Amino acid sequence: MRRRRLLISLLLVAAAGTVTAAVPRAGAAAPAAAPLDRVIPAPASVRPAQGAYTIGERTRIRVPGGSGEARRIAGYLAGLLRPATGFRLPVTSEGGRDGIVLRLGGRDARGLGAEGYRLTSGGRAVTISAAHPAGLFHGVQTLRQLLPAAVEKHTPQPGPWRIAGGAIADTPRYAYRGAMLDVSRHFFTVGQVKRYIDQLAAYKINTLHLHLSDDQGWRIAIASWPRLATYGGSTQVGGGRGGYYTKDDYREIVRYAASRYLTVVPELDMPGHSNAALASYAQLNCNGVAPPLYTGTNVGFSSLCVPKKETYDFAADVIREIAALTPGPYLHIGGDEAHATSHADYVAFMDRVQPMVAKYGKTVIGWHQLTGAHPAKGAVAQYWGYDATGPAERKQVTDAARNGTRLVLSPADRAYLDMKYDKDTPLGLNWAGYVNVRRAYDWDPGGYLKDAPPASVLGVEGSLWSETLTTSANIEYMAFPRLPGIAELGWSPARTHDWDAYKVRLAAQGPRWDAQGIDYYRAAEVPWPGR
């Protein structure tokens, strides 16, 4: 009878092992927990301590007080962890000092601002505290990186799931940490945009700038000017089938981004980069004749007709409809490479259009050429110049900054993610030179424009133009591994900036991207594991 009971017990243990698959092999040494400072972006403060917390079968995710936003974030975390760990990880508002604790408010949240968080880990619990939900969400991203890369997989993995002991206190350097996706040169679906949003959120990026119109395509439905989308959005670079977002599509992108604590900034490029609009409506052209749709990649040849009343009817309608769909504070009106618009017409156009943005409750953003006109009070100029940009153009920008215009920095030879890594890169362009991983990381936004007041810098943005990109894999190949460096420049204190330390942390992301199925570029200057 004793033998029979023993046999049944062994069978039950074996069966349980096939279900959870979350226990290491007998005799196997448990891997060390990742150091608390082995994350991107680099935290503002790290204090290691003895001990570690291990997620196990009995772990609960606790939300003291049961805040709705905190519970939603807890559900998001559980959804991330359950597939690989095999654990139930129930979310509960019951009190307790064990498990994973997500806490909004309280003493530990003091001084953390709108996006900061505090993470403490010990033998009984790992706790994330924040004053606001965005901070709690950012803390979850740090927790995620402290776990083994296999946690990103969608099937049970062996574990163990340990978080090193100690404490992190973390707040961002800049309020604006953005990524731009050009959906005009090539169209990307709602699903593809959502995938990119998830990848951005993992590195605490908080702004998605969508470039919605250009010469090659108009990508958002406008009820008062319907042919903009149905005709102007019907093609793309190379002549392939284009596409556009319905208003419900756009609302879904905005909703999904908000669930990851990203604000969407829509861009409608004017007065240049406007051939898709000009082809859709003849009355927007000075000669009343609509040009053909355009599928090439040259720039600077198109312009709305500045003297015509219809141009401002168009601008007012488009801005009104997009503003109504966009809960975020910003609306981007482009303004770059308006070579077919005289300077006088450019200034006149911007003088009339900027107040329209304010009328509908938004703050205007324009590419830095806006500083050559009269930037509105509170306007933001996005600087995309590079080493070859002349001193007069730089002075125009820094003078505006000293007069109150805020700056988002996207220098083309540092932060344009569509630039080739080197001469052998199969995708991308090279008009601003080659941008390897170190070059994308090794600059300081606070001192980049030396005559601009440091306080004028609102933040940074990694811009991804899509002339040569057609798939999510293409996006990932150009964005990774450079995008995390831009994210770190936006989040981390300047004193943490060090290429030699950063490249080691970056290399540790490689197995995580492998687990997620991200098609990243294996840059030679990064010491990837197993290389």
Q: 10 Å Cβ neighbour count for 530?
A: 6
What stretches of 16-77 adopt beta strand conformation (E)?
45-55, 61-62
Distance CA 339, CA 96 (A): 64
Which residue reads 């119109």 in tokens? Answer: 213
> Under a CB-based contact definition with an 8 Å cutoff, are residues 447 and 494 in contact?
no
Instruction: For the beta carbon of residue 525, count every other beta carbon within 10 angstroms.
Output: 13
How do 117-121 and 161-170 pair as beta strands? antiparallel
Q: In the annotation, is 337 catalytic?
A: yes
Distance of CA 420 to CAs 106, 314, 325, 478, Å? 47, 37, 35, 8
Pick the catalytic residue from 252, 337, 476, 488. 337
What CA–CA distances, in Å, run from 283 to 220, 349, 518?
20, 17, 45
Please name the residues in contact with 307: beta carbons below 8 A apart, sequence gap of 6 or more.
286, 345
Do 274 and 268 contact (CB within 8 A), yes or no? no
- Beta carbons within 8 Å of 55's beta carbon, 6+ residues apart: 81, 85, 87, 89, 100, 147, 161, 162, 163
- Closest C-alpha to 127, from 104, 148, 157: 104
- φ, ψ dihedrals at 261, nearest 5°: 60, 40
Pairing of strands 406-409, 99-104: unpaired
Please list the helix, strand and coil fractions of the chain in percent, rounded to the nearest 5, in that order.
Answer: 40, 20, 45
Helix or strand or coil: residue 14? helix
Catalytic positions: 337
